[in-house]
Amino acid sequence: MQASIQLQRDPRQQYLLRIGDTCLILAQRLGEWTGHAPVLEEDIALANMALDLLGQARAVLTLAGSAQGLDEDQLAFLREERDYFNPTLVELPNGDGRPGDFALTVLRNLFVSTLLRHLWVRLHDSSDEELSAIAAKAVKEASYHQQHAADWVLRLGDGTDESHRRMQAALEKLWPYVAELFEDDAVDEQAAADGLGPRWAELRANWHAEVAPLLQEATLQPPPDKSFMSTGKRGVHSEHMGYILAEMQHLQRAYPGGAW
Amino acid sequence: MVSAQRAVPARVQRAWDVLAGVLDPEVPALSLCDLGIVRDVREAGDALEVVLTPTYSGCPATEVIEQSVREALERDGLGPVQLKLQRAPAWTTDWISEDGRRKLREYGIAPPGHIEPGAPVAIRLVPRRIAPVACPRCGSTHTEQLSAFGATACKSLHRCLDCREPFEHFKPI
């Protein structure tokens, strides 16, 4: 059995891992749809988006590990749960059962791709040349993902009674996890001070400016805000995270360095 | 591309010729040079350094492409070969050559339109107009998009409403 790696908990690394882990864990969730989506075109779309996200994750994890001499595979497969820093939103199951709920999947894709698109736009100005280059590439992909998700949210929200009901239910389930995306802390402060990237809190206004009119057009009503705050970005995850990691990691743990 | 006026070492010139014959594994109508992903070829000491730019972040063909570049150059006796991946500036379909666009059309894939300069657009709410994609078989622009994602990350799926044939479109990015 391959032992876990230990992170040094450096703010720069944590900032990068928040980005890389967001892409990595959402890619894993989207990958669960492969072979199970409602129609063939969406099966291909979700798999393609998972692939883009995985590619982005690889690039960012490679950068995040470089200072500590860790590679993308060690970071993806050999960390303990508390050393993953994705927001809780991306680790939530696709819905009840497998492969889950398509409405929830496309709504989450809208939330995350909107966040990432604005983040990549800002990261293009990063003081880190490699991060800037990754961002210039990824922003184009995020735009495609966002448009795809927006089309579905609109079509299903403003669709039949049943599609509207399921979209509204997904919104009520996911909305409480949005606040965490824009929480501000010392990691963001350091990144902003170093010119590495923006505080995620700075993306809040742009995010809402795009998502709110779309939800309105889709006849969807977000639930009232609550004081609940999820904590994935600090490494404290929901009960779902362990199961994802077990699935992602067990092969590399059992057969170290296994490749095919 | 290599300018005829500049003094180019024969080895570098030969390498460009060899690479013009290495095909993209997913769109085998195009060579790596047609696609615009070979950014530079230069001598670095004893080695021949080839600079490649990835197309999509998650393109599964990237590793196959690297391997086929290395093999083609070494088979021609141009090695040792050093590969360098360069992300910036990001690859764009605008780098696909005119010759490459013609080959795509002949292969049955509608080539990408040119990219509007500037920041990526915000999400559009329907109804919206997507620039019509010309059918690569009959040339009609009376076509519709079936799916924003196709068999590979770089393509979308369309159908011609005149000749009724489905076809793929190389997405502008």
Q: Does the residue B2 lie in any domain? A: no
B159 and B109 belong to one structural domain:
yes
pTM (2 d.p.): 0.91
> Which CATH number goes with the domain that contains B58?
3.30.300.130
Inter-chain CB proximity A55 and B89 less than 8 Å: no
The residues, any chain, with a CB within 8 Å of residue A87's CB and separated by 6 or more, are A18, A22, A177, A180, A181, A230, A232, A233
B87 and B104 belong to one structural domain:
no
Complex ipTM, two decimals? 0.82
A104 CA to centre of own chain = 14
- How far is A187 from A199, CA to CA, in rounded Å? 8
Q: Does the residue B79 lie in any domain? A: yes
Total domain count, chain B: 2
Asked which of B91, B113, B129 is the last residue of a domain, the reply is B91
Q: Which residue of B has its CA nearest to A155?
A: B126
Q: Between A and B, how many residue pairs show a Cβ–Cβ distance under 8 A?
A: 89
CA distances from B168 to A148, A231, B159 (A): 18, 43, 8
The CATH number corresponding to A11-254 among 3.90.930.12, 3.40.1190.20, 1.10.10.10, 1.20.1260.10 equals 1.20.1260.10
pLDDT under 70: residue ranges of chain B: 1-7, 117-130
Q: Does the residue B1 lie in any domain? A: no
Q: Which residues of A touch B (CB under 8 A)?
A: 41, 44-45, 48-49, 51-56, 58-59, 114, 117, 121, 129-130, 132-134, 136-141, 143-144, 146-148, 150-151, 154, 210, 213-214, 217
Half-sphere exposure at residue B109, Cβ-oriented, CA atoms within 13 angstroms: 22
Mean pLDDT confidence for A29-57: 94
- Give the pLDDT confidence score for residue B132 in this predicted structure: 82
- Give the pLDDT confidence score for residue B23 in this predicted structure: 93
Name the residue range of residue B116's domain: 96-170
Q: Kindly report the average pLDDT of chain A as a whole number.
A: 95
The yes-or-no verdict on residue A219 having pLDDT over 90 is yes
Place of tokens 């109804």: B127
**Preceding omega of B89 cis (within 30 degrees of 0):** yes
Mean pLDDT confidence for A16-39: 96
Paired with B169 in beta bridges are: B110, B156
CA distances from B28 to A39, B100, B104, B134 (A): 28, 11, 9, 21
pLDDT in tens, A171-204: 999 999 999 999 999 999 999 999 999 999 999 9
Inter-chain CB proximity B173 and A140 less than 8 Å: yes
B31 and B86 belong to one structural domain:
yes
Please classify residue B130 by burial: count the beta carbons closer than 10 Å to its beta carbon, then call 0-12 exposed, 13-18 middle and 19+ buried: exposed
Cα angle for residues A118, A81, B63 (degrees, 5° grid) = 60
- Give the pLDDT confidence score for residue A236 in this predicted structure: 98
Mean pLDDT confidence for A53-72: 95
